[in-house]
Amino acid sequence: MGHGALRKLDEESRALLGSWDDIARITVHVALLAAFVWSICALLRWAVHETQHALFHQVHAEGALWGPLVLLGVLLAG
């Protein structure tokens, strides 16, 4: 009787260890996916900021009439 209970405990501990391995693997995958999504969002934010800066610099340098036309074109294109 004692031997059977010990073997059952070993099977349960193996199943528990396997579930912890799954939890650790899923946690690592979620962390990597979160880092990837964060980096894509940060890159997109940087690109929008740089494009906006270049556009406003061009509008300011072009003059009074050309600036609003460029901004209107961007508004219509977007």
Query: One digit per residue, pLDDT tens: the chain, 78 residues?
Result: 456 655 666 777 777 767 888 899 999 999 999 999 999 999 999 999 998 888 888 777 766 677 777 778 878 886
Q: Is the pTM of this model over 0.75?
A: no
Question: Are 27 and 35 a contacting pair, CB within 8 Å?
Answer: no
How many structural domains comprise the chain? 1
Range of the domain at 22: 2-77
Contact 67, 60 (CB under 8 A): yes
Give the separation between CA 59 and CA 71, rounded to whole angstroms.
Answer: 8
